[in-house]
Amino acid sequence: MPKPMKTISQAKSHGGVQGVYSHLSTSCSCDMTFAVFVPLQARETPCPVVWYLSGLTCTHQNVMDKGEYRRMAAELGLIVVCPDTSPRGADIPDDKDNWQFGCGAGFYLDATQVPYAKNYRMYSYVVEELPALIAANFPADMSRQAITGHSMGGHGALTIALKNPQRFRSCSAFAPIVQPSTAGWSKPAFEKYLGMDEASWRSYDATSLIEDGHRFQEVLVDQGTSDGFLNDGLRPWLLEAACTKAGIPLKLRMQDGYDHSYFFISTFMDDHLRWHAERLSSHG
């Protein structure tokens, strides 16, 4: 029986349907909202799924409004799922003045520390709970999945792909945080979510995962050269070095003059969706 889910809104777009849904998440112990675009092709046959994980401060809505993925997803016959970035609600422990921690900053990990461990379980949510909900409620071919994301969501896409290489046919990222365990804007969050034992951080850090033997067949990364977070928070060269050492083919494209915004994301969204569609096109 399909798991219970509430429809918040649905609108026809590019021949398909852009919907927003909510459900009571057992992983996060709160109501969670997410967006799903279902292309017209899904009326005939289940369609592959592209996961888009958003960055700091975002909800499901930012990329739905500004990511410009629907035209190409409609053309290629892709379902696009956009989860929220953290648990939400009055009962969720948060630090309202800190945009790099708490609500809007779940970092796609399962927190182990009090009081965050009860709700901040975005890894389990995105990897287990939400896929089951999608499989039960949408015309999705779950044997064909791809994952991408922006900034903190690029971190999520990379780490989740590295830890679940059999699940995903392809992985890409827009301006990802490639080494959150050492970046100034994410290290304090890791301390609070995971505690001070840095060994426990390695399974939520793309470069550490690669050093520890995790592999993925190939990765596409776009990074703007005018991104204000390039040198402090993002540092794609760390991923490049790790991939080179591990023999993971990384297509790192430094995009001249682009910043960290959705103007950057939407410019290269078509390329990423095509990249994924090429790898999702054969049936499993």
Q: How far apart are CA 21 and CA 13, in angstroms?
A: 16
Cα dihedral 142/143/144/145 (nearest 10): 60
Query: What are the C-alpha distances in Å from 54 to residues 36, 106, 107, 148, 166?
Result: 14, 10, 10, 9, 22
Helices (H), 89-170: 122-124, 130-137, 152-163
Report d(CA 244, CA 240) in Å as an integer: 6
Nearer to a second copy, 56 or 147 (CB): 56
Among 3, 14, 118, 167, binds a second copy (CB under 8 A): 14
Q: Would residue 214 show up in a list of annotated catalytic residues for this protein? A: no
Q: Work out how close the CB of 69 gets to a second copy at its nearest, in angstroms, rounded to a whole number.
A: 10
The answer to the question of residue 150 lying near a second copy (CB under 8 A) is no
84 part of the active site: no
Q: Which is nearer to a second copy, 217 or 225 (CB)?
A: 225
Looking at 151, 172, 181, 208, which residue is catalytic? 151
By the rule CB under 8 A, 11 interacts with a second copy: yes
Task: Give the neighbor-by-neighbor strand order of the sheet with 47-53.
Answer: 6-13, 16-25, 30-38, 79-83, 47-53, 140-149, 168-174, 219-224, 250-255
The one catalytic residue among 84, 110, 205, 227: 227
Q: How far is the CB of 73 from a second copy (least distance, A)?
A: 12
The residue within the footprint of a second copy, chosen from 101, 123, 262, 275 (CB under 8 A), is: 262
Subset of residues 27 to 86 that bind a second copy, contact rule: CB under 8 A: 65-66, 68, 70-71
> With respect to a second copy, which residue has the nearer C-beta, 131 or 224?
224
SS3 for 40?
Answer: helix
Question: Which C-beta is closer to a second copy: that of 247 or that of 257?
Answer: 257
Q: Active site includes 227? A: yes
* Residue positions annotated with a catalytic role: 151, 227, 260
Per CB under 8 A, residues contacting a second copy are 11-15, 18, 65-66, 68, 70-71, 224, 226, 257-259, 261-264, 266-267, 270
